[in-house]
Amino acid sequence: MQNKKKAGITLIEATVALAVLLILAAAVAPSVADADRRALAYASQCIQADIRLAQRLAVAEGRTHHIGFNHYENYYTVYTSPPYKEIERVYLPNGVMIRSAENFYYLPRGTASKAQTIRLGKGRFIQDLTVLVGSGRVRAGSITSIP
């Protein structure tokens, strides 16, 4: 009688391997969501700082400074007018997207041209930044999850 080795794995081995994979997936899933929240918070802080920069430059230089958003290439620009001179172009990091925003500017007295809401998104998270027209201040809403 010949001894034949059977190729393959047993049901118990497959079950153990599947259980290990499920445990690893459960451990990784929360860290991915946390990374999305951190990337969104970082992008939000950068935009807020650049909006404040545009406001300070408008007051200091006594001329209008603009903030322009490019939804398609996912960046924003701080520039002066006239003459138009780009001060800074910033591409959003780590897959953070500009979901909605309109271009606006700061007048030499430091007031924004209009009230503005900038919506950023990453994965299933969104955050709104609001520019107040009277003071030109920027307020960040909380990071929320969308279904």
Domain-embedded: residue 5: no
Domain-embedded: residue 3: no
Taking the whole predicted model, whether its pTM rises above 0.85 is answered as no
Q: What is the mean pLDDT of each run of 10 residues along the chain (147 residues)?
A: 68 86 74 83 94 95 95 94 90 91 94 94 94 91 90
Counting the structural domains of the chain, the total is 1
Q: Residue 110: is it exposed, middle or buried by C-beta count within 10 angstroms (0-12/13-18/19+)?
A: middle
Domain-embedded: residue 82: yes
> The domain spanning residue 62 has which CATH number?
3.55.40.10
Domain-embedded: residue 29: yes
Cα separation, 124 vs 101, whole angstroms: 19
Cis peptide before 83 (omega within 30 of 0): yes
Provide the residue range defining the domain that includes 21.
11-145
pLDDT at 4: 63
Domain-embedded: residue 26: yes
Domain-embedded: residue 50: yes
